[in-house]
Amino acid sequence: RYEQFLVETDEIILTSNWNISCEFNETVKWFDISGNKNVKYLPVNVIEKFPNLTIYYAFNSSVMEIYKNNFYGAEKLQGLWLDHNEISFIEIGSFDDLRSLKWLYLGFNKLTTLDAHLFDNLKPLVSLSLEKNQLTSLSIQLFQELHELIWIHLNGNPVSEQITDEY
């Protein structure tokens, strides 16, 4: 048996180091903060509170930036939905602990560039969505470690250069 933890807040989250207020719970597998336009930043203690989390929904909100501490220790996370937000920045190393991730959705955001090594530790990733961002160029290095990848969605980006092998 597993549980889902749904975050609903009327408070506007304007700080990048906010914590959710709840008890530690090993049975929660799904975390849902989606559809909340007041959320500008993700909480930093989700994995600390829910160490067995496998699904993280944060789509259709107003998240602007992603930091390393948002997913620190999230080795069991398999699905991460960050699409339909305002994300324009992802800190290098933000996805390094996501060693079980299979699905990553970053489409419909405001990303203009991605670090060439952003996805290096996402070896089991099978589905990657980057559509409808503002990406103007992509490095082949970005996808080099993704040996299990079977689906990638890149359409709707103003890529002005071909994928390069520079990194």
pLDDT tens digit string along 9-52? Answer: 556 555 677 888 888 989 999 999 999 898 899 999 999 999 99
pLDDT above 70: residue 134: yes
Angle at 129 between CA 15 and CA 11, to 5 degrees: 25
Return the closest-CA partner of residue 140 out of 164, 162, 107.
164
Instruction: Give the separation between CA 19 and CA 15, rounded to whole angstroms.
Output: 10
Convert the pLDDT of each residue in 53-106 to its tens digit. Answer: 999 999 999 999 999 999 999 999 999 999 999 999 999 999 999 999 999 999
State residue 167's pLDDT score. 45
State residue 10's pLDDT score. 57
Q: What DSSP string describes 44-59?
A: S-HHHH-TT--EEE--
For residues 143 and 167, the answer to whether their CB atoms sit within 8 Å is: no
For residues 115 and 92, the answer to whether their CB atoms sit within 8 Å is: yes
Instruction: Give the separation between CA 1 and CA 15, rounded to whole angstroms.
Output: 34
Q: Give, rounded to a whole angstrom, the gap between the first and last alpha carbons of the chain.
A: 44
For residues 13 and 33, the answer to whether their CB atoms sit within 8 Å is: no
